């Protein structure tokens, strides 16, 4: 009697994991969209300021500032966290990822 029930539970487990992974991916995409909405004006301003400096190569400015807001390693070896990782969308994505990893 217990064998068919166990079989059903084990058969559906990969489906539940796949759904959870899709939810996590969706939440992570929302997080990245929210971060990009905040970072783009800052990045554009820094690029414009850099280009306004006399003798600066515009392509250099775009390459230099393209990763504004990403995590970076500091000279002392520590890592500076990425900007806007505390947005509600990002917190929800991180919590969902942790919950999915514990299953």
Delimit the domains of the chain by residue range: 14-102
Distance CA 89, CA 34 (A): 7
Q: pLDDT at position 55, please?
A: 87
Spatial separation of the C-alpha atoms in residues 31 and 35, rounded to whole Å? 6
Sign of the Cα torsion 91, 96, 101, 103 reads positive
Q: Can you give the pLDDT at residue 101?
A: 83
* CA dihedral for 34, 40, 41, 46, sign (positive or negative): positive
pLDDT at site 12: 40
User: pLDDT at position 80, please?
Assistant: 94
Token reading at 49? 């300021």
Mean pLDDT by 10 residues, the chain (103 residues): 44 46 89 96 96 92 95 94 94 90 79
Looking at residue 82, the DSSP 8-state letter turns out to be P
Q: Residue 7's pLDDT is what?
A: 40
CA 71 to chain centre: 11
């Amino acid at each position: 009697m217990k064998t068919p029930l166990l079989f059903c539970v084990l058969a559906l487990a990969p489906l539940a994991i796949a759904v959870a992974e899709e939810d996590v991916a969706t939440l992570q995409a929302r997080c990245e969209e929210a971060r990009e909405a905040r970072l783009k004006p800052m990045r554009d301003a820094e690029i414009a300021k850099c280009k306004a400096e006399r003798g600066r190569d515009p392509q250099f400015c775009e390459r230099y500032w393209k990763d504004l807001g990403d995590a970076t390693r500091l000279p002392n070896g520590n890592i500076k966290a990425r900007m806007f990782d505390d947005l509600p969308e990002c917190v929800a994505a991180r919590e969902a990822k942790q919950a999915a990893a514990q299953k």
